[in-house]
Structures are given as structure tokens and as C-alpha cells.
Amino acid sequence: MKKIIIDGNSLTLDDIFNVVYNGYIVELSSSAREKILKSRALIDSWIDKDSVIYGVTTGFGEFANVKININEIEQLQKNLIYSHAAGTGVFLPIEIVKAMFLLRINTLSKGYSGIRLETIEFMIKMLNNNIIPLIPSQGSVGASGDLVQLAHLVLSMMGIGFVVIPEKISRSGSQAVFNKGFNYKLHTVDKIEIEKLDILKADLALRKIGLQPITLKAKEGLALINGTQMMSAYLSLCAGYAIDLSKIIDISASMSIEALKGSDTPFDERIHNLRPHNGQKECAANIRKLIENSEIRESHRYNHEKVQDAYSLRCIPQVHGASRDTIRYVKNIIETEINSVTDNPIIYPEDEKHFEGGNFHGQPIALASDFLGIALSEFANISERRIERLVNGNLSGLPRFLTTQGGLNSGLMIAQYTAASLVSENKVLAHPASVDSIPTSANQEDHNSMGSIASTKCYQILRNTQAVVAIEFICAAQGIDFHSPLKCGKGSGKAYEIIREHIPHLTGDRILYDDIQTSLDLLRENIILEGVENIVGKLL
């Protein structure tokens, strides 16, 4: 079984995807173990001295001035988790919860939180055995960390609440709409697959893997819930998927160029060297590679009736590229965040000191999530405009709505409606959450980031955008069919072949839901991307 060594300093987006989706297990590094033990020893020494330390021997938030008796310290930590487990709403996607678990382990392994080594090892055993707590999605304001959701996570460690134990979490995302224990996924008109996820009481699930519910010691409740791990889990998965999507949408665009008999001139390297934004140059290079040796392109190279293509074709590098540069920025922000200490107070064993600060504040994640949501919305916007051109016979030169029997058949008319619906929803979701703040804890916490809301919205925008691009693949492939026997370029042609292996040409009306779901699976599982890269090499 493949393994990732956790030291608190080097976790990457690839590591997160490998743990969440590919079954990798985690193990603490020896250096992390040493740091954790030193930090905990200092906490124990302060307890013995009955020192006044926020959240260890005092109350929380507005109650920071209330001293707690030493014989009530364990009750204090238990009460903290009970009182903060105040969530509401549907359960978080299970892939988000698993990522939360990993991120919390990683930050605690840095050795600045004062948690016991056995507590972190308890969490690792839960993670490696795929025990996923059911956590309500609403309740975080994204400043003192994701207190509510992390408290619900800790409840499961205490043997309280419910968990699921999936055999595998799929990138295709059926679990993302998980609630009430079932995932529904319609693959064909005559078959429905229902995946049952066993819901167990947390204490029973713990005993199945040889664990007894944990009793929290001094500082541990606070150490476990002070942090940005829910919003960071969302943004980590969004950023990882967005990196792939920035390549996948170049592939779908290349197919639309083929179907619409677009020009290759706008992708000439000399144009982009004069405006050398990295994302723009990368996208143009990808398109050139994807449509190389296109017979369709050569068939109309010297047709000068159309001097310039519409922006949704001609400005692909400029639009896709700007979103690419945003994704690059967000990746840097989130990989910094997931390897940071977001606890309070922070314990410094070397100096035998503790510092009360604000590293739990989610502002970096809030802004980055809003920015990424906007960038992904633009992917969807321009993709939908290409879909519209493909189905609009007045613009495409192709059969109206890509069907040869219009009237009797509606063809792909309503697929464009769906894309338009998703794009419109994205425009609402892309309104930034980070510009809002509402005070909590009797105005002690008087500026909150709303990063939890920003990252949740970003995740929905991502999923909407993936669906729009999946529809573009379907429409572009249908358009390309009408240029037969002329063939596409190397990369666009391979993508077309993969789609046609799974989705047949639309000869007459059929239920398009199935086609869209199949296209989404090909997209989310990176089947199209990997197939194309096997032919043309790695895309930028």
C-alpha cells in the first residue's frame, strides 16, 4: 500500500488527491513525533504549575478571563466540543471530510499545538481505515477556524454521532451529493446503480478498528478545532481539479474549433510573445499541439470569407489563460496554508512560551476561494458561448441544434439550456463572500472571513463548470461528425475518439442526462486528459 510521510511541512495537492481518492495511507515522520512530544511535555508542565493559559486553564472567547480549576480541565475540553458542535444543513461531501482529516493531522504534526502523540495516531488510524464522520455543512464563519465542522469531526473521535466507511471515494463525484446514506447515479436509461454507504454509530466504527472513544486531555479540544481545515479542504480539492480543468477545457475548445472550422491564426506563438502572460502562452501552445495535423483545418485554410472568428474562439488563450494564472496563484496560497500552523494559542517548546494570535483567521482562504470561483466561472462562460455557436445553425454552418431531422428531433437544443442555467447560477455564486463580515462572541471576534462560505461556493462553481465543459465535449463531437471523413488534429482527434467510444452520435432524440453524466465521468476521472496526453505529450 502506498504511503505518504507526514511532517507538517511538505503536503501537496497531489498528496491530498492520493489520500482522498487513491487509497494512500499516512504515517508520521520521526521528526514530527519528536516535536509533538516536546510540545505536549511543555503543556503538561504548565498544567502541573497551574499556569494561566488561554483555552487550557481558561474559558474560550468572551470567557477567556474565567480561570478553570485544574480538576475541571478535561471537562472543559469535553464541553468545548459539545458546545461547538452546533452545525446544521446537509452533510459535507465525504471527500471533503477525508481531506479535512488529513489537513488537521498535517498541521498538528508540526508540533506547535500541544496535542498528545496518541491523539494524532488515533486520527491517523481513523483516516487510514476510511472512517468518515457525518458533518453538517453549515455553521462556520471562517475566522476562529472552522470551529463547528471540526467540533463535529472530534465528536466522532469521542464515539459520538455517525460515520460512513466507503470502500473507495470516486473522483467522478457521486459522493459530493451524499446525504442520508445513498448515492444515486444513472448510467443508462434502463439501469440505476445505487451505492449503499453503511452508516454506523461512531463508537461501533471505532471498535471495529480496535479503538476506544478518546478522552480529551488539556488543550486538545482547542487544538483540534482551531483551524481552517474545512475551507482548506474545499479549496485544495477545487484547486487540484481546476489545474486539470485548465487543460481539459483547452481540449474541449480545440474540438469546438474543429467543429466550427475555426482559424488557427489566433494561436500563433508570435501573437502571445507580445503579451507574455504565462497562462495565455500555455493555452495557445496547448491549442497548437491539439489541432496539429488537422484535416478539417487544412480544408478551409484558404477560405477568406470569414476574416476573424468570434471571441469565444479567437480569444481562447486570453480568457483561458487569465483563469490559468489565477489557478496558479490559488495553488500557491493553499499549499502555503495546508502546511501552516492555524492553532491558538501556539506552543513554542524551544522557548517554553505560548503565543495568543490569529493564525486561525480564514482571510487568505476566503479571498483565494472567491478569486478561484470567479476564474472558474469564466471557464464556464466562454465554454457556454462555444456551445451556443455549435447549436446555432445561423452561426455554425452546421445543422440547427446539431440534428439532421430538426422539428421531429430537438437535437442538442436543451443541452445548451442546461449549460446556460449552470452559467447563470455561477454568476450568482461568484459574488464574493469575503467582502462580508459579521461579528461573533460578544464582539470579541469582530471580523470574520466567511472563508467557509467562499470555499463552499467555489466547490459548487467548480462542479457546475465541469458540467458545462462536459456538454461542450458532447456538442463539439456531434459537430465534428458532420465533417466526416475529414479528421481532427492529433489531440482533438483523440478526445473525439474517446467520447465516441462512450457516447454514440446523436441520430435521433434520446435522454441526454445519461450522455452528460458519462461525459462528466470522462472529464472528472481524467480519462479524456490522460488519453490525449498519451498521444500529444503533457499539456502545459
Active site amino acids = 54
Dig out the grid coordinates for 190 from the structure: 434502463
Backbone angles phi, psi at 491, to 5 degrees: -80, -45
What phi-psi label fits residue 89: left (phi over 0), alpha (psi between -120 and 50 degrees) or beta?
left
CA distance 523 to 342: 34
Closest of 340, 395, 389 to residue 363, by C-alpha: 340
Q: Which residues pair with 3 in a beta bridge?
A: 25
What phi-psi label fits residue 115: left (phi over 0), alpha (psi between -120 and 50 degrees) or beta?
beta
Closest of 459, 463, 473 to residue 516, by C-alpha: 473
Pairs from 494-498 (Cβ < 8 Å, separation ≥ 24): 494/531, 494/532, 494/534, 494/535, 494/536, 495/251, 495/252, 495/254, 495/255, 495/290, 495/528, 495/531, 495/532, 496/255, 496/258, 497/531, 498/522, 498/527, 498/528, 498/531, 498/532
| 3-state SS assignment for residue 145 | coil
Locate cell 461501533: which residue? Answer: 204
CA distance 332 to 267: 28
Q: What share of the chain is helix, strand, coil (3-state, %, to 5)?
A: 55, 10, 35
Q: Which residues pair with 27 in a beta bridge?
A: 5
Closest of 129, 111, 109, 131 to residue 120, by C-alpha: 109
H or E element: which one contains 353? strand 353-355
CA distance 513 to 464: 15
Collect all residues with Cβ–Cβ distance below 8 Å to 234 and sequence separation of at least 6: 96, 369, 455, 456, 458, 459
CB burial of residue 482 (10 Å; 0-12, 13-18, 19+): middle
Q: Tell me the C-alpha to C-alpha distance, in Å, between residue 501 and each of 259, 401, 439, 475.
A: 18, 22, 55, 15
